Structure 1
Amino acid sequence: MKVVVIGGTGLIGSTLVGELAEHGHEAVAAAPSTGVNTVTGEGLDPVLEGAAVVVDVSNAPSFADDAAMDFFRTATTNLLESSAKAGVEHYVALSVVGTDRLQESGYFRAKAAQETLIRESGLPYSLVHATQFFEFIAAIADFSTVDGTVRLPSARFQPMAAADVAAGVGRTAVEAPVNGIREIGGPEQSGLDALVRRALAAKGDPREVVTDEQAPYFGIRVSERTLLPGTDARLGAIRFDEWLARQ
């Protein structure tokens, strides 16, 4: 089965392409570096010819509100049109657990707009909502640092390794379309503040992590369960301590 992975040279995409190929699929990495540009439409029709599944794990090059919205609207519209012409049987997109609860952020409003375009396209689809990646915990700390101190709430979250994200997306891609949302998450919950504290300690980072329930998460106020998946989420296998030991 031919599966085209948009964003197939990135963190999730490259792992996903390898896993699909190992399972006997014709996995094609599509990205600007391979001559495929979803914003301009360059290379889309040729790469999608004969594809049964399209998986979009690409991300906006900027998290600024307007730039993210422009990217997701333009890229998704072009990709959906080319997918329809190619007769794609399953359109899969990676999104974020809690997107509908994080609409104070322009980036998440852009992700919601992307999901709406997919739902309304008429193509069979699956939206994979993943929790935060272990690989981005350092970025959480950096974004939340004020005067050398990291300030974060104790809200629960359930992050996962990028390898488990790729596995979850790949599993969904080769199954029948759900025409809805499939949630995936990590195998264990933690407080946002506590996990960042553990991550910094493991790296020998001297920054203090202060628990502040009013502190935002990437500029957004979150409640106890904003970042958690539902009880029917598919869970990855890699625990945080195991992931840390591999770094």
Structure 2
Amino acid sequence: MNNILVIKLGGILLNSKFAINNFFKILYNFKQSNQNIVIIHGGEFWAKNIFQNISLLNNNIFKNFNYNNNVNNYFKIGIFSGIINSYIIKYAHINKINAIGLRFTDGDTIILNSINVKDSIYCNINSLKLIQYYFSNNIIPIIHPTGITKDNYLINVDADIVSMLLAKALKARLVILTDVNGVLNGKGKKIKLINNIIFKKLILQGVIKNGMYTKVNSALNVSKHLNQIVNIASFINNNKLKNIFLNKSIGTNILYKKKGHNL
């Protein structure tokens, strides 16, 4: 399976009907380019808002619940797999794109030995039959960041980590889309290139933190594993968004620097 593109959609995209519709409109125009595409989406912010709204409407039922507690894991998973994934697929169908929603563990492409994610995730690169089937039938998998562990626990994983694992398993190009032009330097300007050495410096300077830390760290992991550039970019600019499907770099280039190699 060559010429595979993995796109991670930031959950913030869900806040704009225009942006999500525009993304799929552009994707449709370039879908004929003989490129297999997999989409992974986040939506933590959206899920949290949905949960809070439900809590307000059903105060007696939810009064002892907190979104961040493990007791609510099933609610998070239900929101991701039901509401958010279906919402995204709706816009794919509006733009005549044949898409299907999946958990990231479906087909055993990625296997979780237990709910201890960091110690248990690995890519079963020999079990790509499910995704191969969808590719052969011109169907785009739209994957939400929830799955089932080997011992049958439901789990929710950061979508940036899921996109990293799938890109590695599929040996695919990875583009991480967010609401900013790329990784910013702390003064609002885009950083053109980040390697693992620059990454450490930016962490110490407090420039890269929180969600962007996970994005860059995941991108560097893919770059190291596949020896290729990963892009972190914005979904807002139409012309630059089109470049994704033309195999051109946009946003910030993330490239792992091996010892003895100059960039």
Sort the TM-score into its range (normalised by shorter chain): 0.3 to 0.5
Greater percentage in helix: 2
TM-score, normalization: structure 2?
A: 0.36
TM-score, normalization: structure 1?
A: 0.38
